[in-house]
Chains A and B, each alone.
Chain A
Amino acid sequence: MRMSKIVRTGANLLYPFILIFGLYVIMHGHLTPGGGFQGGAVVATAAALVIVAYSYDEVAGMLKKTAMKARESIGLLLFIGAGIAALVVGAPFFYNFLANSGLLFGMPVIPGPNPGDLNTAGVIPIMNIAVGIEVWGGLAIILLYMLSGIRKEES
């Protein structure tokens, strides 16, 4: 079942903005409210929007369950991988070895009020990104399975 043209056009317009906002929340998890889970959930609502606006069959071709499952696994592996990397450098599991190292996300945090430097906090942003990918995949799968019932009811 497709919704009216107004709804579909609205969904088309909103879709990229929802994605960008979700990715923004994931990316700035260590600076602003939100983080991996919240951002991932926002991104997954984009999937919910298009499934509701268009029919399940049309969207199922675009959002594949296998791709979402892969996202779920990759996100988790990236998260654990960030923890294991600490073991490789000789510290305990989950040690934040990137913080203040000058490498990726490795700038020291400036004390006091400041606009916020994205390039800080070490492995925390990496874990936020991992959680974001994982929640995106996981919630999208849940939505795909639950909303696939809409089609069955129609026929």
Chain B
Amino acid sequence: MIPQFIVENSPALMVIVPLVAAFITPFIGRISSGIRSIWVGGAMAVTSAITLILAFDVYSAGTRLYVFGARAASAAIPPDSGGIPIRIIFEVDPMSALMLVITAISGFAIILYSLSSERSHTGLESYYTLFLLMITGILGMVSTGDIFNFFVFLEILSLASAGLIAYRIDGGVAVEAALKYFVLSTIGALAILVAIGIYYGEYNALNMAMIASRMQFSLLDQVALVLIIAALAMKCGAVPMHFWTPDAYSMAPSSITALLVVASQASLYGLFRIVFSLYSVTLNAVMVGWLIIILGVLSMVVGVTMAIPQKNVKRLMAYHAVSQTGYMLLGVGVGLAVLGNQPLLDAFGYLAMEGGIFHIINHAMYKGLLFLTAGAIFLRVGTYNLNKMGGLGHSMKWTMVFFIIGALAIAGIPPFNGFASKLMIYESVFMFNPVLAVIAMVVSILTLASFVKVFHSIFMGPKLPEFADVKEAPLAMLLGMGILALVVVLFGLFPGIVVENLITPAAHALVDQGAYISTVLGGA
């Protein structure tokens, strides 16, 4: 049904299509803005389709290797290279495939939303070019098997994100937020580059599987690990490196904020990939595991307590994003802390990791949805200030429904997807350390309290006179939100199917370092 050519070359095509589309967009935009809308929408649809084809193929047929520039896509080690895979390699295992699924769904929903929400703004050719570059960066980051290539895609993502955060100049405030993000990203990227230099000097290789197979966990490797964890934890907005998130998330256009959430999940993926696939059992799993757990708990508590007093709805949601990232760090951190201890790993380690990984996809869906509803409200009302809103439930019914779905999901109320993943985290973390589980539950309750307040001040109450002529959001925006809301509800109703088919293979792929190495290096 699907041509073999596309399936075989899907790892390359999913990066080529948005890249080519991004740079043709300025030319298309000169013809007419209508054709440009069709062009970027179509390009994103094709990208999502190819990405989903690849993800499906990985889940059904196992890890995919794609070697750029070789005569055959599976020839990882050139005959004259002395056994070192020198080419750029995409290694798409189930964990990467999960991230691809997230990007495909969110990216498509967000572009639908953008086509309508950004219609009346200027500078759209740059907007769509940078949007597609962000997609390219995310897709590349989560599928590459080459650590320098990872850095390159991270930089593509950072530069495009910084441009888009500053897209609505807004009296210079957005530019300030973008500058903050840009400076921090550059420092982070520099740290990663130094770490890559250390690996290259030590192991003569840039391929992650090759480095993993030679990993000794010397002092230099520890320095590199610290640099990488610090940089990527900053990029995913973990406390205490979270201070760029409220600014960047609240000043970017809402569609971009939703994509920034996916981007931060990609950084989180990078963190897990480095820790599990590159270092795995060589590192001091208990110590690094606890480090990640502490980062996670700090993020959860600080994020939610900072969110409660916020007046700006997007700043509030941004702090909740920090808080939710903590859950993923907590879940996967617990998995890491018991790595190498097979009985404990079987008892609750895998479950904790599955919970954390499941929370990544859930978070990308419901947090994206919440940011999109905030954007829809802003489009109609013109303010993010909670104190100035009220009574919008009368006129924006669908937006309200989507907001309720998102808010209940983030608070972990059944039957939405947030409940499913949080329950897995609670259960497994309780077996590891009951105090952590209690903290996680308290944070959830505070999240619910915070969103009840937001819901009340935006939608409840009598219709305000200044918003008398407020209309429902346009259809395309509702469609974009609807896709995400549908995923939130479906994942919440059938968590068993999702966990069994998507999450468990991902968690096992992350733990199974041997398989990751042997895919590239052969049976070694």
- A: residues with CB less than 8 A from B are 69, 73, 76-77, 80, 83-84, 86-87, 91-96
Contact = CB atoms under 8 A, between A and B. Distances in A.
23 contacts: A69-B26, A73-B23, A73-B24, A73-B26, A73-B27, A76-B19, A76-B23, A77-B23, A77-B24, A80-B16, A83-B16, A92-B12, A92-B66, A92-B68, A92-B69, A92-B73, A93-B9, A93-B12, A93-B68, A94-B69, A95-B69, A95-B70, A96-B69
A73 B29 CA distance: 13
B464 to A, nearest CB: 44
* Interface class of chain A by DSSP: helix
Interface of B: 9, 12, 16, 19-20, 23-24, 26-27, 66-73, 88
A92 B20 contact: no
Nearest to A73: B23
Contacts of A83: 16
B75 to A, nearest CB: 9
Contacts of A94: 68-69, 88
Contacts of A96: 69
Nearest to A74: B23
Contacts of A93: 9, 12, 16, 66, 68-69
Contacts of B27: 73
Contacts, number: 46
Nearest to B70: A92
8 tightest CB-CB pairs across the interface, nearest first? A93-B12, A94-B69, A92-B73, A94-B68, A73-B23, A76-B23, A77-B23, A93-B68
Given A92-B12, A94-B68, 19 more contacts: A77-B24, A80-B19, A80-B23, A83-B16, A84-B16, A86-B69, A87-B9, A91-B70, A91-B72, A92-B9, A92-B70, A92-B71, A92-B73, A93-B66, A93-B69, A94-B88, A95-B70, A95-B71, A96-B69
Contacts of A80: 16, 19-20, 23
Contacts of A76: 19, 23
A117 B20 CA distance: 32
A94 B68 CA distance: 6
Nearest to B19: A80
B16 A92 contact: no
B340 to A, nearest CB: 37
A84 B20 CA distance: 10
Contacts of B12: 87, 92-93
